[in-house]
Amino acid sequence: MPPVSNSSPFPLPKRLCSSIELLVGALLLAGLGTLLAPLLPGAANWWVAIAFYALISGLVLVFWPHGPLGWANRVTLGRAVLVALVAGALVNDAFIDAIWLWLGVSVIALLLDGVDGWIARRTRCHSSFGARFDMELDALLIMLLCVGLIMEEGLGLWVLLIGGMRYLFVAASLPFPWLEAPLNDSYRRKAVCVWQVVAMLLALTPLTSPLLAGLLAFSALVTLIYSFGVDIKWLYQHR
């Protein structure tokens, strides 16, 4: 459901309202990027961060025609700013010199994952768009952590399966439409998602040996394959 806003004698066009909020997000990206300069030390880092945020903003404009974003989606937009910083820092291995700062930004983006849902429930402004916005940001953050893990620890490309599993599932739903059926809420699914991110964050810390980093990443992949397998089996049985 779209957020409820107070009436105004001079209401702004709906697209303009969300565009203004996206512009505020861009200013937040500029401010945080300047404040956290080690993450974006060069022009290439800035361009990648800006490109990621611009892509996310464009998709929001396309799929959210309801005017103001609402507080829950604004928090998710703040997460998008942090994810853009994480992406920009991957260029030229900038994140390796500022690994603790990079991990800190990633952790904050992860913690805010629960905040936007809580706000949506409290303000009764939850929507299918908000849930999808949140889920796609999670998938993007996990993929970026996978890339960072390959670059820092030198693990094989198999690590990309952790971040790519979600996209493979979406691609498989094209020839098999029954995969698009809604799934019930699952603590198992949520626990696996949390472990994915926690395992990769632990693997990325400088205190973790390459062997342990590989084992943590492998455990994330195994639990993810199991979780997807359970869901696919259920969808197949109820197709």
Q: Does residue 118 belong to any structural domain of this protein?
A: yes
Q: Does residue 210 belong to any structural domain of this protein?
A: yes
Alpha-carbon Rg for the chain, nearest whole angstrom, is 19
Q: What is the pLDDT of residue 14?
A: 63
Query: What's the whole-model pTM score?
Result: 0.86
Please list the ranges in the chain whose pLDDT falls under 50.
Answer: 1-11
Q: What are the tokens at 232?
A: 């696919």
Q: What is the number of structural domains in the chain?
A: 1
Q: What is the pLDDT of residue 110?
A: 86
Q: What is the pLDDT of residue 15?
A: 60
Q: What is the pLDDT of residue 128?
A: 78
Query: How far apart (Å, rounded) are the C-alpha atoms in residues 54 and 72?
Result: 20
Q: Does residue 94 belong to any structural domain of this protein?
A: yes
Range of the domain at 118: 14-237
Q: Does residue 3 belong to any structural domain of this protein?
A: no
Q: Does residue 227 belong to any structural domain of this protein?
A: yes
Q: What is the pLDDT of residue 187?
A: 82
Q: Does residue 8 belong to any structural domain of this protein?
A: no
